[in-house]
């Protein structure tokens, strides 16, 4: 059966938007634990050293940064009798389903080659779905508002997947015992079923759409813009400092809660609290940004997040400290939620500044550059954190002496807090405030008005 067609003038119904967004749900179920849960799980249940796991994480993220543009280019160019995007999702679903099961259900005897190989295979499968799927979304509809609606359904699907993973330990028969081997096995089985099902429904029922040519990332113009655009360099400094600190924290927070605080079984409660706090805070930050300066809101959010992360170092271990642990995690999420609003809005101002200087619109290059920086933040932050805690002798499997625990806290909590505080200062000093950006915008409009039709 052929899939429904849609023209540029037609409206896309909400149910077709929802069907299109379905593949994001199983991807979300396994994406967060791949970074935050599996490294600690492998450190405890296999003989792979922490430092080796950290190196694998860094290599896998570098590999991901290389594979992304290659798959994006191929999904734009390779035409098949079944369309431009959809065949890639089928291939990705097959690769991802196999690699997710192998990655999430390892034997205790597996080695570093096994972990690295299946982790990178998982990345390939994930990317084969994610990039063509998002490109397909731009092909489906071109109307500005309707595209926003498509993106909203995609976000809702991803949010539901995150919630499903967070709640997985509370399934009947698991007894809320945390993200242990049995929970991860059931999660893998669920994804093996849901992934081909969701991809199949999307391919069958969502329209093919009409592909559009997009600008390619060109290295020379990008480097020139970066080297001469002071606001972008300062923006990049804030982004790297905050992202690096968050990368260390995210990569080791599960180990901290389980091995230091002794509350691994209640980690799902912490995840749910974090998700709810973020959901509530995002519209609040949007209102604050609309009323005050974007860069100051970003700086304030990073400062609040950094103080909360530092406070975790002094939370008592065990049940007595659990309320403090949840409260500080919620506070961190309330501050950290600003990154879902301020950076994207501020990057638009940086692009306007470059438009005024050069007369060209380099928005695609800037956003592509930030995508690569985001991957590097997670890779270097999480991987280096694992390497350092391994070097200080911290064990995820057993008891650690007090000096080692404090060394762990310095790496996982104090260092990220310092980086977040530094990013707050740099953000507060950002040169493009509301008044200066208004000047930039007026000059761009004036120049456009003088230009010949």
- Per residue in 297-329, pLDDT tens? 889 999 999 999 999 999 888 788 889 999 999
**What tokens were used for 45?**
């249940």
**What tokens were used for 63?**
């590999």
Has residue 213 been placed in a domain? no
Query: How far is Cα 440 from Cα 291, in angstroms, rounded to an integer?
Result: 20
Tell whether 170 and 235 lie within a shared domain.
no
Whether the predicted pLDDT of 78 surpasses 80: no
pLDDT at 215: 43
Has residue 396 been placed in a domain? yes
Tell whether 28 and 80 lie within a shared domain.
yes
pLDDT in tens, 334-360: 998 887 767 766 777 777 787 777 776
Q: Which residues have C-beta within 8 Å of that of residue 292, sequence separation ≥ 6?
A: none
Whether the predicted pLDDT of 148 surpasses 60: no
Whether the predicted pLDDT of 142 surpasses 50: no
Tell whether 29 and 150 lie within a shared domain.
yes
Q: Measured between alpha carbons, how far is residue 140 from residues 7, 16, 146, 208 in Å?
A: 8, 10, 10, 7
Q: Residue 445's CB: how many other CB atoms inside 10 A?
A: 10
pLDDT in tens, 180-201: 888 888 889 999 999 999 999 9
Tell whether 269 and 181 lie within a shared domain.
no
Whether the predicted pLDDT of 31 surpasses 70: yes
Comparing 334 with 130, the larger pLDDT belongs to 334
Query: How far is Cα 430 from Cα 235, in angstroms, rounded to an integer?
Result: 7
Tell whether 174 and 268 lie within a shared domain.
no
Q: Say if residue 262 is exposed, middle or buried (CB neighbours under 10 Å; 0-12, 13-18, 19+).
A: middle
Query: What's the structural domain count of the chain?
Result: 2
Has residue 383 been placed in a domain? yes
Q: Measured between alpha carbons, how far is residue 355 from residues 7, 208, 291 in Å?
A: 33, 34, 25
Q: Considering the entire predicted model, what is its pTM?
A: 0.67
Tell whether 259 and 227 lie within a shared domain.
yes
Q: Which of 205, 232, 264 is the last residue before a domain boundary?
A: 205
pLDDT in tens, 198-213: 999 988 887 776 544 4
Query: How far is Cα 340 from Cα 275, in angstroms, rounded to an integer?
Result: 13
Tell whether 114 and 149 lie within a shared domain.
yes
Has residue 38 been placed in a domain? yes
Tell whether 189 and 255 lie within a shared domain.
no
Of 7-11, 80-84, 163-167, 169-173, the one with minimum mean pLDDT is 7-11
pLDDT at 419: 95
Region of residue 316 (left: phi > 0; alpha: psi -120 to 50; beta: else): beta
Q: What is the average pLDDT across 382-402? A: 80
Has residue 395 been placed in a domain? yes
Backbone angles phi, psi at 383, to 5 degrees: -65, -45
Tell whether 359 and 415 lie within a shared domain.
yes
3-state secondary structure at position 318: coil
Tell whether 179 and 324 lie within a shared domain.
no
Tell whether 101 and 189 lie within a shared domain.
yes
Whether the predicted pLDDT of 116 surpasses 80: yes
CATH of the domain at 229: 1.20.1250.20
Has residue 409 been placed in a domain? yes
Tell whether 195 and 85 lie within a shared domain.
yes
Has residue 2 been placed in a domain? no
Has residue 5 been placed in a domain? no
Residues of the domain holding 134:
14-205
């Amino acid at each position: 059966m052929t899939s429904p067609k849609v023209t540029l003038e037609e409206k896309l119904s909400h149910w077709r938007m929802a069907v299109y967004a379905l593949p994001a749900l199983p991807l979300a179920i396994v994406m967060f634990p791949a970074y935050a849960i599996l490294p600690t799980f492998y450190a405890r249940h296999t003989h792979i050293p922490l430092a080796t796991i950290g190196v694998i994480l860094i290599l896998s993220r570098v590999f991901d940064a290389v594979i992304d543009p290659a798959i994006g280019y191929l999904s734009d160019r390779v035409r098949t009798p079944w369309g431009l995007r959809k065949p890639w999702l089928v291939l990705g679903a097959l690769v991802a389903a196999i690699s997710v099961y192998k990655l999430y259900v390892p034997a205790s005897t597996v080695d570093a080659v096994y972990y690295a190989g299946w982790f990178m295979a998982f990345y390939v499968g994930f990317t084969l779905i994610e990039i063509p799927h998002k490109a397909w979304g731009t092909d489906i509809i071109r109307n500005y508002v309707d595209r926003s609606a498509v993106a909203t359904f995609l976000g809702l699907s991803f949010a539901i997947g995150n919630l499903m993973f967070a709640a997985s330990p509370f399934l009947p028969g698991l007894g809320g015992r945390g993200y242990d081997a049995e929970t991860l096995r059931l999660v893998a089985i669920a994804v093996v079923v849901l992934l081909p099902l969701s991809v199949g429904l999307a391919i069958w029922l969502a329209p093919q759409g009409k592909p559009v040519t997009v600008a390619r990332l060109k290295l020379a113009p990008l480097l020139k813009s970066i080297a001469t655009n002071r606001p972008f360099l300062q923006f990049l400094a804030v982004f790297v400092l905050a992202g690096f600190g968050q990368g260390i924290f995210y990569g080791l927070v599960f180990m901290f809660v389980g091995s230091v605080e002794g509350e691994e079984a209640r980690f799902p409660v912490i995840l749910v609290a974090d998700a709810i706090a973020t959901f509530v805070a995002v519209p609040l930050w949007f209102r604050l940004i609309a009323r005050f300066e974007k860069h100051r809101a970003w700086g304030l959010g990073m400062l609040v997040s950094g103080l909360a992360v530092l406070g975790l170092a002094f939370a008592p271990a065990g049940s007595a400290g659990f309320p403090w642990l949840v409260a500080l995690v919620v506070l961190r999420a309330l501050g950290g939620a600003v990154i879902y609003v301020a950076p994207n809005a501020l990057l638009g101002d940086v692009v306007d500044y470059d438009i005024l200087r050069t007369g060209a619109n380099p928005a695609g290059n800037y956003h592509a550059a930030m995508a690569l920086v985001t991957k590097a933040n997670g890779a270097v932050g999480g991987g280096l954190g694992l390497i350092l805690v391994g070097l200080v002798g911290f064990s995820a499997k057993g008891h650690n002496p007090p000096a080692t625990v404090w060394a762990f806290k310095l790496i996982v909590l104090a260092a990220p807090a310092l980086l977040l505080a530094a990013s707050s200062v740099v953000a507060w000093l950002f040169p493009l405030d509301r008044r200066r950006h208004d000047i930039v915008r007026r000059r761009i409009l004036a120049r456009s008005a003088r230009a010949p039709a």
